[in-house]
Amino acid sequence: MSDFWKDKRVCVTGGAGFLGSFVLEQLAQRGPKDVFVPHIEDYDLTLMEDQDRMLDDARPDVLIHLAALAGGIGANRARPAEFFYKNLMMGVPLMHKAWEKGVGKFVAIGTICAYPKFTPIPFQEENLWEGYPEETNAPYGLAKKMLLVQAQAYREQYGYNAIYLLPVNLYGPRDNFNLETSHVIPALIRKCVEAKQRGDEEIVVWGTGMPTREFLYAGDAAAGILLAAERYNGIEPVNLGSGMEISIHDLVELIVKLTGFEGRIVWDKTKPDGQPRRALNVDRAKEFFGFEAQTPFEEGLRKTIKYYIENQDKID
């Protein structure tokens, strides 16, 4: 275990959220001096005065910025202005204030949505500026991408230790299963489980099934983030992924099998597919700070399905 965390005060924005819960679990094993988690009821991180107050209350040595307004294609299409403004304002002013107040290290969490729509496969960090992001989530992707520009500029001008990580699509227990705002895996799990319980003859799935995606178990993502916080102090963005690509069609078939749903799958081809392919080159994370994903995909899906079934009555 690294002694990096010894005597460190750590602030984790978004620590009360899905990925944040895994980061906090793993931080607890590393034994920092203090971990501060700002809750939305107490700090609105889109307001600069609340950012000031949070930093004064937390006095962190390390700030891990997970907080984001995020969602699937439907949510991004319905609220593009909110996704742009809120993510920009939660990030850019916060990094500036962290630098002003002497926070030793800023760990910025970006998004795979920052990559161009037609990025060559596998996505390499060098491809980030070779085109415009996929239209349905470009406002979100670009707002988060500005943290990379800022981190590099602040490092160049001020010598500030800000790093930028690009996790691929996450999944796991405690994910958001709200069909209006969730990503593809929790949405499919909920649809299949509920359809099986009701005895439905079919489920309807958006798009054609042709696009591909890569997924990373949230516990693995948390491990990668903490390894980067401990070991990485560079200017380059770094992908966090599993290195496994699967089509949406095959993903749906797998979740149908694991949940035991026996009805038909109906593809609603009037709905958008999103980015055609997503798969990452993950060499840089291994080289720079020794990160490799550990959770086999089917095992992670089983854990996520089990969590949803056991907590179904508590989920909106």
Q: Name the residues annotated as catalytic.
A: 140
Residue 38: strand, helix, or coil:
coil
SS3 content of the chain, % helix, strand, coil (to 5): 45, 15, 35
Cβ–Cβ under 8 Å, residues 191 and 259:
no
117-140: burial string, b at 16+ Cβ within 10 Å, e else: bebebbbbbebbeeeebbebbbbb
Residue 205: strand, helix, or coil:
strand
Which pair of structure tokens corresponds to residue 128? 């980030």
List residues bridging with 224 in a β-sheet.
none
Q: State how far the Cα of 59 lies from the Cα of 35, in Å rounded to an integer.
A: 10
